């Protein structure tokens, strides 16, 4: 089993040829659908054949009701904490014609995910093969889940997104960290390194590996967008170049990578092979519009990349 503890957000999406400049008004096309890093990752793992349980908090509102209905329709098992007086999380997403995005999130009920709710599902975590966490839900709940996993010998992945300055314990306890360029820079800055996201993107795989060895986590996989990913382990590093794709929407690509990584590890693959598969899964995702409902299946990936 894969346990994903994290966030659910309703995605409110505006598509426009280019992003507005400061003070500018532009027209665009609006749509909405399910998202949130936790839910996206759970859906990715679920569609890739992982026996997945999603643990999250939602409000007692219409968006929360939609979340439960959608999960049931997708046959994704969920353990919902319903929070009275809180809104379900939501995200405003801008997409331009190049498929790039800008996102503003109100985490709302996600910040109320409680250690008590996590403890109610302790047996699920103890019997999981992989625990997957992000940083959109309450830190206390994530730490509770990670401590349970650690005591039971369950392998854990922490996707340190969005970057946060108060999650050092989470990072130190993780078996695998999976930052993108900006999150990797934030992790290094917390270790006293003078780096920026821009400088990370310009460094080769060997240099990224050297930086990753400064982090407390034994294995770090850095996602690099169009460059693919770099895996750093105590025994060396590996670089994974993506296939050529036609980018339509990058929203949820990192979440797809993390869900695919968890699914492949749960199937018993070595970390190197799981990373290679996750790059293919994310590459398939960016050719599709949307987030959670755009996550590919194994058949989709095989049909696209052979």
Residue-wise pLDDT tens digits, 232-263? 999 999 999 999 999 998 889 999 999 999 99
Residue-wise pLDDT tens digits, 3-28? 999 999 998 889 999 999 999 999 99
The rounded percent of the chain whose pLDDT value lies above 70 is 100
Average the pLDDT over each of 61-75, 92-106, 143-157 and give the range with the smallest value. 92-106
Distance from the Cα of residue 110 to its chain's centroid? 15
Distance from the Cα of residue 136 to its chain's centroid? 10
User: How far apart are alpha carbons 232 and 210 in whole angstroms?
Assistant: 8
Helix (H, G, I), strand (E, B) or coil at 245: coil
Residue-wise pLDDT tens digits, 90-107? 989 888 888 788 888 899
CA neighbor of 145 nearest in space, from 111, 108, 120: 120
pLDDT of residue 275: 98
Planar angle of CA 139, 141, 146, nearest 5 degrees:
95
User: How far apart are alpha carbons 176 and 158 in whole angstroms?
Assistant: 6
The catalytic residues are 255
Query: Rounded mean pLDDT of the chain?
Result: 95
**What domains, with CATH codes, occur in the chain?**
2-19+30-305 (3.40.1190.20)
Q: Where are the beta strands (DSSP E) in 42-154?
A: 52-59, 78-83, 89-95, 101-106, 130-133
Question: Are 275 and 221 contacting, i.e. CB atoms less than 8 angstroms apart?
Answer: yes
Residue-wise pLDDT tens digits, 213-231? 999 999 999 999 999 999 9
Average pLDDT over residues 191-202: 92
The rounded percent of the chain whose pLDDT value lies above 90 is 88
């Amino acid at each position: 089993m894969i346990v994903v503890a994290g966030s659910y957000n309703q995605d409110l999406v505006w598509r426009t040829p280019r992003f507005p400049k400061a003070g500018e008004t532009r027209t665009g096309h609006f749509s909405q659908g399910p998202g949130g890093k936790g839910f996206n990752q759970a859906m990715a793992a679920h569609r890739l054949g992982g026996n997945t349980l999603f643990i999250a908090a939602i409000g007692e509102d219409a968006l929360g009701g939609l979340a439960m209905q959608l999960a049931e329709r997708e046959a994704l098992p969920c353990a919902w904490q319903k929070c009275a007086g809180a809104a379900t999380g939501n995200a405003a997403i801008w997409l331009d014609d190049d498929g790039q995005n800008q996102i503003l999130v109100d985490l709302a009920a996600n910040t109320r995910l409680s250690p008590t709710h996590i403890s109610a599902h302790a047996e699920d975590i103890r019997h999981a093969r992989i625990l997957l966490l992000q940083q959109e839900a309450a830190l206390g709940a994530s730490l509770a889940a990670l401590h349970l996993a650690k005591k039971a010998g369950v392998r854990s992945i922490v996707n340190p997104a969005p970057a946060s300055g108060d999650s050092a314990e989470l990072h130190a306890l993780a078996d695998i960290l999976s930052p993108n360029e900006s999150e990797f820079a934030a992790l290094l800055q917390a270790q006293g390194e003078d780096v920026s996201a821009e400088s990370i993107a310009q460094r080769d795989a060997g240099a990224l590996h050297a930086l990753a060895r400064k982090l407390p986590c034994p294995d770090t996989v850095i996602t690099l967008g169009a460059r693919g990913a770099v895996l750093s382990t105590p025994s060396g590093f590996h670089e994974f170049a993506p296939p050529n794709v036609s980018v339509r929407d990058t929203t949820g690509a990192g979440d797809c990578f993390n869900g695919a990584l968890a699914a492949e590890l749960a199937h018993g693959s070595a970390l190197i092979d799981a990373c290679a598969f996750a790059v293919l899964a994310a590459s398939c995702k960016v050719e599709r519009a949307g987030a959670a409902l755009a996550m590919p299946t194994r058949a989709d990936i095989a049909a696209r990349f052979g």
